[in-house]
C-alpha cells in the first residue's frame, strides 16, 4: 500500500474538509458548505463520501480529492499536502523509509498486543446483537460499520467483565491486561472491565500502535467520556488531542 492509499484508507473527505469548513449536514453522504474558494451566500460546495471527493458547482466549477482540497485551501504542493494528511491520519512519515508495512512488522509490546485484541473484541461487539443500539447511533452520524472498523471504533458491552472474560478465554497475558488499563480493580477489590456500555475508539501513537481507548457513554451515564488511565504506553497529556470525537 502506498502512503497515498494508506492516507485515503484512514481518512474520509469529510474528516479532511471539516477541519476547514462548517458543513451543513456532516452526517449526510453528500454534505454541503459555502465554497471556501469563492464568495457566495448559498452553499454550492459539496462533498461525496462515496467518492471521497469535493466539488464547487458554482463559480469555481472545480473539484477533486482530499489532496487537491488541502493543496488549494493551504496553497501548498502535493508533497506537503500528503505529509500534512499523513500526520493527521497518524502515520509517521519520517520513520517509514518508504516501507508502508514496516511499522506493522515491528515487534509490538505486550501492552500494544492486548490492546489490539481488545480493539478486535470491541469491533465484533459493535457488529453483534449487543452493539445494535451503538451502531444505530453511529449510523445516525454517518459512520457505518465499515467506517467504524477503519477508524478503530467499537463497542464495550455492559456487564462487569465481558472483555475480561474474553481475554481470559484466549489466555491473554494477564499482567499486560492490567497494565494496559483494560481492567481495573473495583472498590470491593474485584476486577472489572474499564469500559462498559460505551462506544470505544482506539487511540494510536504515530506508529499506529494502539496505546489506549477513548469511550463515550451510551445514554446518560457519567462521565460521558472516559479514557484509558495513564499507563506505561499511554500519556494523556500527550495524546488526547488526537481524539477527534471529543467535541460531539
Interacting residues with Zn ion (CB under 5 A): 35, 37-38, 56, 58, 60
- Name the minimum Å distance from CB 76 to Zn ion: 19
Rounded Cα gap, residues 11 and 52, in angstroms: 9
CB closer to Zn ion, 42 vs 247 = 42
Q: Smallest distance, Å, CB 44 to Zn ion?
A: 6
Q: Can you tell me the distance from the alpha carbon of 57 to that of 150, in angstroms, rounded to the nearest whole number?
A: 30
> What 3-state DSSP class applies to 3?
helix
**CB of residue 39 vs Zn ion: minimum separation in angstroms?**
9
Task: Name which of 38 and 166 has its Cβ closer to Zn ion.
Answer: 38
CA distances from 211 to 20, 92, 94, 247 (A): 28, 15, 20, 21
Residue with smaller CB distance to Zn ion, 7 or 56:
56
* Cα–Cα distance for residue pair 64/77, rounded to 1 Å: 15
Smaller CB separation from Zn ion, 16 or 35: 35
Cβ at position 64, least distance to Zn ion in Å: 12
Residues β-bridged to residue 184: 192
Identify which of residues 66 and 167 has a Cβ nearer to Zn ion in the complex. 66
CB 125 within 8 A of CB 132: no
Q: How far apart are CA 209 and CA 90, in angstroms?
A: 10
- State the minimum distance, in angstroms, from the CB of residue 43 to Zn ion: 10
Phi, psi of 184 (to 5 degrees): -135, 160
Least distance in Å: CB of 18 to Zn ion? 17
Name the minimum Å distance from CB 36 to Zn ion: 8
**Residue number, 23 or 233, with CB nearest to Zn ion:** 23
Q: State the cell numbers at 236.
A: 494523556
CA-wise closest residue to 232 among 212, 207, 206, 203:
212
The nearer residue to Zn ion, 43 or 212, going by C-beta atoms, is 43
Amino acid at each position: 500500500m502506498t502512503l497515498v492509499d494508506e492516507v485515503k484508507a484512514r481518512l474520509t473527505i469529510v474528516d479532511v474538509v471539516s477541519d476547514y469548513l462548517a458543513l451543513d449536514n456532516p452526517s449526510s453522504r453528500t454534505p454541503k458548505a459555502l465554497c471556501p474558494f469563492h464568495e457566495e451566500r448559498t452553499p454550492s460546495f459539496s462533498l461525496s463520501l462515496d467518492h471521497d471527493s469535493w466539488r464547487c458547482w458554482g463559480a469555481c466549477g472545480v473539484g477533486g480529492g482530499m489532496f487537491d482540497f488541502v493543496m488549494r485551501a493551504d496553497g501548498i504542493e502535493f508533497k506537503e499536502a500528503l505529509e500534512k494528511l499523513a500526520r493527521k491520519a497518524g502515520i509517521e512519515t519520517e520513520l517509514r523509509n518508504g516501507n508502508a508495512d514496516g511499522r506493522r512488522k515491528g515487534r509490538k509490546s505486550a501492552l500494544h498486543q492486548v490492546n489490539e485484541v481488545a480493539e478486535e473484541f470491541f469491533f465484533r461487539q459493535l457488529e453483534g446483537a449487543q452493539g445494535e443500539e451503538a451502531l444505530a447511533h453511529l449510523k445516525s452520524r454517518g459512520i457505518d460499520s465499515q467506517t467504524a472498523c477503519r477508524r478503530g471504533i467499537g463497542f464495550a458491552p455492559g456487564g462487569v467483565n465481558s472483555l475480561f472474560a474474553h481475554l481470559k478465554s484466549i489466555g491473554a497475558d494477564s499482567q499486560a491486561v492490567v497494565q494496559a488499563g483494560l481492567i481495573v480493580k473495583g472498590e470491593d477489590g474485584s476486577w472489572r472491565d474499564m469500559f462498559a456500555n460505551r462506544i470505544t475508539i482506539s487511540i494510536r501513537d504515530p506508529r499506529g500502535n494502539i496505546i489506549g481507548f477513548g469511550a463515550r457513554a451510551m445514554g446518560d451515564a457519567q462521565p460521558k467520556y472516559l479514557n484509558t488511565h495513564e499507563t506505561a504506553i499511554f500519556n494523556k497529556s500527550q495524546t488526547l488531542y488526537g481524539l477527534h470525537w471529543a467535541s460531539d
